Each structure stands twice: as structure tokens, then as C-alpha cells.
Structure 1
Amino acid sequence: MSDYRRGFESLHQEIHEPSLPTEGNWPDWLAGTLIRNGPAQFEVGDESYNHWFDGHAMLHAFRMRDGTVAYRNRFVRSNSRTEALEEGRIARSEFATDPCRSLFGRVMSVFNPTPTDNASINVARLDDQYVALTATPLPVAFDPDTLETVGVVDYEDDVDVDMSTPHPHVEPGTERTLFHTVSFGRQCQYGVYGVEAGHKTRREVATLDVGRPSYMHSFGMSENYVILSEWPLVVDPTDLLLRGQPFIENFEWHPERGTRFRVLRKADGKEVATLEAEAAFGFHHVNAFERDGEVVCDVVTYPDASVVDELALDRLRSDDPSPGSGHLRRYRLPLGGGAASSTLRSEERLELPRIHDGPATGRPYQYVYGVGTRVEGQFTDQLVKIDATTGAAQTWHEAGTYPGEPVFVGAPGGAGEDDGVVLSVVLAPDAQQSFLLVLDAPSFTERARARVPHPIPFGFHGQYFGGAL
């Protein structure tokens, strides 16, 4: 049996291949660049990071032109990485790893915290810059051609927050980028901020006071509303200061709180509805839209937050890994408030969900793409396409391979929501390499692939940028 655990080993090599070996029927219209992000170094000196989320960020770019695919990979030269390499040890606290410090060092870190800029989760375009993102408000700019790190982005405002989602939404039509944020303190706050196209100024859309903030990795957006999903994984802000634990270990699971959805109107920031649902946990919202006096909000959910611990590196490298995937659940949120109803949309397991960005964003939609788990104990070993209206699913898998997040690219002038292709970076551990897979989106069958000369560790998210960068 092929060993998926190769995807959790460090990759130190940085290369540039002007032309990868390709096979199949490469779409002649596919002219752009897929840039992916994810952790690639899990040890510094004799110390190891604890969690998949903590490894040093590496960018991978696949530039496609006239059937030719060029590849380049490079570490994000964050301050977190630079300090760690210079000191030969883990230097900054990450999601689930705290560097060994003296008592004096721990006390000083309370009064002079140095948040991580290890931007390993996602990529986006902000104003005229391409940026790597993590859950701290420190986007790191990079050159899209060389992947060379430019530095932390300086926003042109005085917004002071502690966390910012690595999953911003771009509003169709306005092209405004929306972020949700969290601020910790004597009075904690959720925030929603917008950055207009062509600018670097964060402007407040809404703020909400909160006593014990929830861990929220992403948020929902419909045409007129923003949806914050308060899972019952919450933190007492004093624990963040006093317990001396890695960030996520300060959060506690309180299922008796249930899940609370807070629906905020984008036009004036007003909280128009607060809705209760059964306890659940989720990393990733899929989409949201308005219909018949309610907001329909689709999320990949889990029964509880144990998946966070299951993604620790020692668990992922064991013989009993997490499935790495949840299920697509649809919540109906009446704008009049009250209880939220929910239904499971498909029996297929799903994670790292993507839709046809733009045409489907914030609107009624049909298709969601993601990774899934075909064989229990094999982590994520297939790609899944789910019809969110019927629950029907199509899958792609190849024995001994492990695909990453699928990114949909629409065909020029495409008539249907799924008229295009799906791109995924697939690990083939037995061959000691990965490959870029191109699937025909309607049939969900392979069209082409391009082979990379080394295995790429499991990553998180990426974006396709059409045309010249």
C-alpha cells in the first residue's frame, strides 16, 4: 500500500523547471498560473513543530502557456522562518507549537508578543500585490514570477486586530475584499472589514462585542450579508495571556453552547439575525445565498472539534490518521431569527471545498469540489464533485495517490457553472513525485497531467490567476 505519510515530510529543495513533462490533452485555452501554499518544513534543528498547520510556508507556482507547464517552488521568507533558521530552533509561537522559553522569556512574551507571519494557508491578490495569508493580520507579499518574498504588507490604516481570516471573500461586481477579524482583550470583538479594489485601507463594515470568542477559520458571504459561525470551541482571553500554552490549546469545547450564527448586513453592519443550531465544528464555509426570507449557508462540518487534534503531526504520521474530511451541511438561517435548521447534503466526505468563484459566489449554485476519503485510514485519497442541490457525487481517484485542494477554472465563454476544468496537485509517494492534474469538470475525468520532479507536501489552498501576472 502506498504511504500517504510522505506528504507530511519536509521538502527543502527549491527548484525552477521551465517545462515539466506533460501527457494527455492539455486545454489550449488554459493560460495562467496556479499558485499554491502550504507547510513544507516541519523541523528546525532538533525541534519539531507539533501540528500540520505550523510548518514553514512554501509557495508552488504552475505557469501554463500553450500546453507548456513551468514549475517553481520557494519558501516564504517570513520573519518567523528567518528567526528560526538564524537561531537554529523554533522562534515564534505557531497555531499549536510554542517555543521553549525561560520563565523570563514567557513573561516578556505576554507584554511584547510577536505574532507569527508564517503565511502558510492561502494566497490572494490585494491591490497590486500578490500575498500569502495566515490567520494573523500579516499578509506577506511576494513576486508572482519568482516567488521571492517582498515583505509584510503595510495597510494604509490604523486597524489593530489579533486575527484575520486567511479566507477573504471578493464581492462579485464591486471586487471589494472582505475579511473577518478577532481582537482579544478586556473586551473582545469580532470585526468585518472591507478593502476596496485598488486600495490598502481596511474600512469597518461591522463590529460585535463578544465575551468568549469562537475559533472561526472562515466565514460566509451572500449578496447582502456576512455570516459568522460561532462554533462552541471558545477561549477565555485571559487564558491566552496567562496559561503559556500554544494558541489553539487555550480553546475549550463547550457543546452545551450549541452553534450560533450571526447574520450581519453589509450595507450598515447591523446584526439582523442571531440563530441557534446544534453543536458542530467547521473550518471551511462553501457558499451562502439568499432565498425566501432566509440565508442558505453551506459549510463542511464535523460533529465536534476533535479534528483539530487529529491534524497534529504525530497523529497524521501514525498508522491511525484522521480521515481529514467532514461532510457538506446546509444551514437555513431565517432572517427573522430563531432556530437554524440543517441537512446533510451528501454522504461523501469532503474538505478543502471550492466553487466556481465569481459566478457562483454569494448566489444560488450547484457544484462544490473538494478532497475526500475513499478508503478509511488513507487520509484524503480522492477528489469529489458534489451537486449541492441533489447530493449526487462524482469522484476521481488513482490507486496510491493523494490529491490536494481542487481549484476550478472556468472555460472562456463557458455556458454552465461547471464548464471548465479542475486543477489539483496530487502526491504520488511511490514515484517520489507529485503531479498537476487537470480534470474535465463536467465529466470529472482526467484530461492531462504534468509531473513535478519531487514530492510536494500536503498543502492547503491556492488560487488560479489568469493571463500574465
Structure 2
Amino acid sequence: MAADHRLGFRNGEGHPPTDLPVEGDLPEWLSGVLLRNGPGRFSVGDQTVNHWFDGFALLRRFAIRDGGVEYASRFLRSDAYERARSEGALRHDEFGTRPDDGLRGRLRRLISGELTDNASITVTHRGGEFVAVTEPPRAWAFDPDSLRTLEPRRFDDGVDATGSTAHRHYDPRRGETWGLATRHGRNGGYVLHRRPDGSSRREPVATIEVDQPAYIHSFALTDRYAVVTEPPFVTSPRRLLTADTFLDAHEWRPEQGTRFFVCERAIGAVAGPYRADPCFVFHHANAFEADGELVVDLVAFDDASAVTDFELSNLRSAEPDLPAGELRRYRLPVGPTDSDEMPSVPSPEAARATASETPVEPTPTTLHEGPVAFPAIDYVERNGRSYRYVYAAGNRHDPPETFLNRLIKVDVGTGDARTWSEAGVHPGEPVFVPAPPGRRDGEDDGVVLSVVLDTDEERSALVVLDAVDLSVRARAPLPHALPIGFHGQFYRDGSRPIQSMA
């Protein structure tokens, strides 16, 4: 009997560098490295973690050069991983799992503020290093060739925050990385910050104070604004102290609605909140300014089951109950602007905002019903600007399916969609790689890379699709099945490493 999606939630393994067989023809211009991250092991001794987010980070590398693909994978040697491996038990509080060490152990961790450093969400390049990151503050540098874990990295710059969004933004025009940190405890809220190229310090731009901070995974960035989308999945200092896990410390408060805060990058001024009907948001697709409005495109879920349904017991069931997100557009009024440029450095009076209620209630437009997840665009050229295409993973409606089983290309202007799917194949996040500058013919001239799980063959594969029509250009089967991962970046040869995804 053939395997099913549950193959992607078994413990994985590292693999030494291996040349993969390539079926089809890779574009001759496609030369670089796809680095990906995601959970690779879900059990320690007799304990199985509770949530997908809690699996130990497994780095994956696909070097694409001269028509060939070399693959390797290796576990990130975080302190959480090394302690679990040496002691045979979980020793750090994870997102949805806590160690089975009783009240004394929990009190010790609360007093010490010991947070997991299991950096399993994505990878980034900062300060000349490749770094694995997650939402708690400590990240890990690693060697992009061998995937060997190097040193832990943590900012020491005075930004007062407990954690941060897993997704940062890079502005290539100004050479700046922008991030959003969350602050729990007294004066809770969010800190928008920037880090210029060459600097190791983050500079606060705006602080948004709220009574109960929400779980926020990403935000949107345009030339002039940062957009913070706050779902009503919130916590409090008391709940953080008394709940079993970080996930359990949050509760769904639909009466609060989903709120949008708009931060002006130049001066740190904050407008909002703009209040909309409640929804949960993991990922933004894009945002841009048009006719006095901010257009914000994101994947919206009905409620916080988008988080809780990723419990491992559900994902490992034959028919999991999975959240269904739709690609949705919101419009926020910001008024006309007088200049095409803005200062690259914010005013010293970075705003501390307890924003007053804004009467405008944004009404969403559905761009694609979905279900969709992991939206991707031509990030370098179109992030923060008017654009046309979103690539995403998704499910079929009819017949209903149990897990992500197709890739989708949505034209946000017309609503038209193309899809790619194969029987028994579950794709991961799509990564758009444009054709080289000077050789492009349209926004969608390029390829889409995705690491897919082929349950019939019981192994994974790297697939390379033509970004115009989603036809298969090449496929490189792996020697084994990889656990289903989260996010990554493609770094093109011959140019400095630059972010290719949010």
C-alpha cells in the first residue's frame, strides 16, 4: 500500500552531499543555492512533541549548477537539540510542547527566561553570515556549504522585546533589513525596527503599545509604510506565567477583530488601528500604495485553528482537519503623498503609539478562495510595489484532499489561476526565481522551485516549474523522504546574497 502525507511527519535524517539524478533540463541561467529549513525530528526519547513547529531544525541545501543538483541535509546543533540528544529528553520550552520535568523544572525556566533556540523556521543572510532563525531571539549561524552549525547569534542593541516575527523584509533600494519584534509584560506591544547593511544593531523606528500582544508571524512593507496585521489571538503576562505552553497562553478573542497598524517608515508615525472582521494571518503576500490607499494582500483563516490544527496528532491522522486559508485583499486609506522619495533614516522622535481607534473598517476582497498557504512573489522586484502574480501551495476542493497537493499561480489582477499537481505528491513552499536581469520578458519570466513529497515513490524531490504556465522543466529525486519543511531562500551565484522571499 502506498504511503500518504503522514510520511512527511516522520523523523528525518541528515544526508551527506549527494549528486541527484536530474530528469528534464534545467535552465542554463539557473545557478545558485536553495537553502531551506524546517522540522526534521519530532521525538526525544519517549516524548513526542505536540506541535509541528516544535520539531528540531533540519537544514536542507540544493546547489544547482551546470545542469546538475547537489543535495545535503544536516540537523542544526542548537542547544535545545544538543541537550535533547545528550540527555534523551526535551529540556527547553517549545512553541506547543514543554519538557516533562515537573513543577520545579518549569519554575526554573520561568525564572531564567530560558527560551528555545531551535531555529527551525527559515534562513537569512545578515552581517556576512548565513543564519537559521525562528521567533525567539536567539539564532544560529551556519556554513552554507557544509551546513555545519557555527555560533549562536543574538542582537544586543537595546531593542526591548521578547521575540520577533519569523519573517523579516529586505529593502534593496535602501540597503536595509526591517523587522517586527513583540514585547510581552508591562507596556506590551510591538517594536518596528530597521538594520542598515553593515550594521549589527537594530534601530527602533516605532513602538505600538497594546494591552494584550497577539501572535504575529509576519508583516508587510512598502516604500513608505510598514503594515502590522494583528489577529485577535492574544496573550497576557498572567497567561504566559500560568499556561502550559506559549501556544496555550494565547486565546481567540473574535470580539476584538483583526486590527491593522500603519507605520510611516520615515518618521515612525503610526495610524490606526483599522479594525476588520476577525481572521488569523500567518503570511502576507504583498502590499503596495495606490490612489491614496494601502493595498494589503494576505492569506486569511477564519480563526486560530490555523495554529492549533497543526498539532502533530492531527497532522499524523489519516484524515487531518486542516485550516483553509484564502488569498484576501484589504484596502487602508493613507492619503496622497507629495514625493517619490523618503528619508532612509527615521526621525529621532521614533513614535511610541497607543493608536486611537480609526473609524474606517476595511472590507476584504477575495482574490482566490483557496485553500492556499505559503504565498510567494517576485520579491526583489515587486515587494512593496504593484504586482500581478502570487505563487502558493494549496488543496483541491473537489474531491476534498487531506493535505497540500498542488501549486497555484494566481493573477491578482484578473483572478485567473493556474495549477500544477500530480497524484500522491505534496508540494512545499514555492520559491520564485526570476530570469537574470536583462533577459527577462515579463514579471513571471523565471522558474518556481519546490521540494515535494512523493508518497508513491516514498521519497522527496526538487521540482523546477516554468513560472509562466507551471509546466515541469526538471525534477531531481532525493534518495529519501524529507519531513515537510517551512521556508527558505534562493541565493544566486555571481551576486551578493540577497533575500528572495519574505
Give the TM-score normalised by the residue count of structure 2.
0.91
Task: Return 452-461 or 167-176, whichever deviates more.
Answer: 167-176
Q: Which residue of structure 2 aligns with residue 466 of structure 1?
A: 492
Name the CA distance, whole Å, in 1 between partners of 2:229 and 2:86: 40
Q: Of residues 362, 386, 396 in structure 1, which corresponds to 2:420?
A: 396
| Cα deviation 1:183-203 (Å, max 9, x = unaligned) | 111221210111111221111
Alpha-carbon offset, residue 156 of structure 1? 5.2
Q: Which residue of structure 2 aligns with residue 168 of structure 1?
A: 168
Name the CA distance, whole Å, in 2 between partners of 1:175 and 1:316: 40
Q: Of residues 360, 379, 384 in structure 2, which corresponds to 1:357?
A: 379
2:340 aligned with 1:339: no
Alpha-carbon offset, residue 319 of structure 1? 2.2
| Cα deviation 1:304-349 (Å, max 9, x = unaligned) | 1112111111001112213454110001111265211211111232
Q: Which residue of structure 2 aligns with residue 61 of structure 1?
A: 61
Please say if residues 261 and 275 of structure 1, whose CA atoms lie closer than 8 Å, have aligned partners that are also in contact. yes
Q: Which residue of structure 2 aligns with residue 115 of structure 1?
A: 115
Alpha-carbon offset, residue 102 of structure 1? 2.4
| Cα deviation 1:344-397 (Å, max 9, x = unaligned) | 111232101111011110001110111001252330000011111121110000
Please say if residues 348 and 393 of structure 1, whose CA atoms lie closer than 8 Å, have aligned partners that are also in contact. no
Q: Which residue of structure 2 aligns with residue 384 of structure 1?
A: 408
Task: Return 27-36 or 154-163, whichever deviates more.
Answer: 154-163
2:29 aligned with 1:29: yes
Please say if residues 307 and 322 of structure 1, whose CA atoms lie closer than 8 Å, have aligned partners that are also in contact. no
Going from structure 1 to structure 2, the CA distance change for 1:324 and 1:258 (only over 3 Å counts) comes to closer
| Cα deviation 1:230-249 (Å, max 9, x = unaligned) | 111111122102x1411011
Please say if residues 137 and 164 of structure 1, whose CA atoms lie closer than 8 Å, have aligned partners that are also in contact. yes
Q: Which residue of structure 1 aligns with residue 430 of structure 2?
A: 406
Alpha-carbon offset, residue 2 of structure 1? 4.5
Please say if residues 323 and 380 of structure 1, whose CA atoms lie closer than 8 Å, have aligned partners that are also in contact. no
Please say if residues 409 and 423 of structure 1, whose CA atoms lie closer than 8 Å, have aligned partners that are also in contact. yes
Q: Which residue of structure 2 aligns with residue 305 of structure 1?
A: 304
Name the CA distance, whole Å, in 1 between partners of 2:43 and 2:235: 28
Please say if residues 137 and 154 of structure 2, whose CA atoms lie closer than 8 Å, have aligned partners that are also in contact. no
2:31 aligned with 1:7: no
What amino acid is aligned across from residue 354 of structure 1 in structure 2? A
Name the CA distance, whole Å, in 1 between partners of 2:208 and 2:33: 38
Name the CA distance, whole Å, in 2 between partners of 1:437 and 1:461: 16
Task: Return 63-72 or 370-379, whichever deviates more.
Answer: 370-379
| Cα deviation 1:203-251 (Å, max 9, x = unaligned) | 111111111001111111111101111111111122102x141101110
Name the CA distance, whole Å, in 2 between partners of 1:429 and 1:276: 43
What amino acid is aligned across from residue 453 of structure 1 in structure 2? P
Please say if residues 215 and 234 of structure 2, whose CA atoms lie closer than 8 Å, have aligned partners that are also in contact. yes
What amino acid is aligned across from residue 213 of structure 2 in structure 1? P
Alpha-carbon offset, residue 434 of structure 1? 0.8
Name the CA distance, whole Å, in 2 between partners of 1:214 and 1:155: 22
Name the CA distance, whole Å, in 2 between partners of 1:121 and 1:368: 21
Give the TM-score normalised by the residue count of structure 1.
0.97
Going from structure 1 to structure 2, the CA distance change for 1:50 and 1:154 (only over 3 Å counts) comes to closer
3-state DSSP of counterpart to 1:223: coil
| Cα deviation 1:49-92 (Å, max 9, x = unaligned) | 00111000011100011101111100111111011111110110
2:280 aligned with 1:281: yes
| Cα deviation 1:414-462 (Å, max 9, x = unaligned) | 1311110000001112312111000000111100011110101100001
Alpha-carbon offset, residue 6 of structure 1? 0.2
Q: Which residue of structure 2 aligns with residue 146 of structure 1?
A: 146
Please say if residues 6 and 318 of structure 2, whose CA atoms lie closer than 8 Å, have aligned partners that are also in contact. no
Name the CA distance, whole Å, in 1 between partners of 2:20 and 2:419: 26
Q: Which residue of structure 2 aligns with residue 418 of structure 1?
A: 444
Q: Which residue of structure 2 aligns with residue 314 of structure 1?
A: 313
Q: Which residue of structure 2 aligns with residue 449 of structure 1?
A: 475
Please list every run of 5 or more consecutive structure 2 residues that lacks an aligned counterpart in the other structure. 336-357, 498-502
Please say if residues 333 and 341 of structure 1, whose CA atoms lie closer than 8 Å, have aligned partners that are also in contact. no
Going from structure 1 to structure 2, the CA distance change for 1:277 and 1:123 (only over 3 Å counts) comes to same
2:135 aligned with 1:135: yes
Matches within 5 A, 1:213-292: 213-241=213-241, 243-292=242-291
Matches within 5 A, 1:43-122: 43-122=43-122
Q: Which residue of structure 1 aligns with residue 388 of structure 2?
A: 366
Name the CA distance, whole Å, in 2 between partners of 1:420 and 1:324: 30
3-state DSSP of counterpart to 1:15: strand
Please say if residues 324 and 351 of structure 1, whose CA atoms lie closer than 8 Å, have aligned partners that are also in contact. no
Q: How high is the sequence identity, in percent, across the aligned residues?
A: 44
Alpha-carbon offset, residue 164 of structure 1? 0.9
Please say if residues 371 and 383 of structure 1, whose CA atoms lie closer than 8 Å, have aligned partners that are also in contact. yes
3-state DSSP of counterpart to 1:330: strand
Please say if residues 14 and 72 of structure 2, whose CA atoms lie closer than 8 Å, have aligned partners that are also in contact. no
Please say if residues 11 and 40 of structure 1, whose CA atoms lie closer than 8 Å, have aligned partners that are also in contact. yes
Count of matched residue pairs: 467
Name the CA distance, whole Å, in 2 between partners of 1:215 and 1:42: 23
Alpha-carbon offset, residue 464 of structure 1? 0.2
Name the CA distance, whole Å, in 1 between partners of 2:278 and 2:403: 25
Name the CA distance, whole Å, in 2 between partners of 1:416 and 1:198: 33
Aligned-pair RMSD on alpha carbons?
1.4
Please list every run of 5 or more consecutive structure 1 residues that lacks an aligned counterpart in the other structure. none
Name the CA distance, whole Å, in 2 between partners of 1:275 and 1:82: 45
2:453 aligned with 1:427: yes
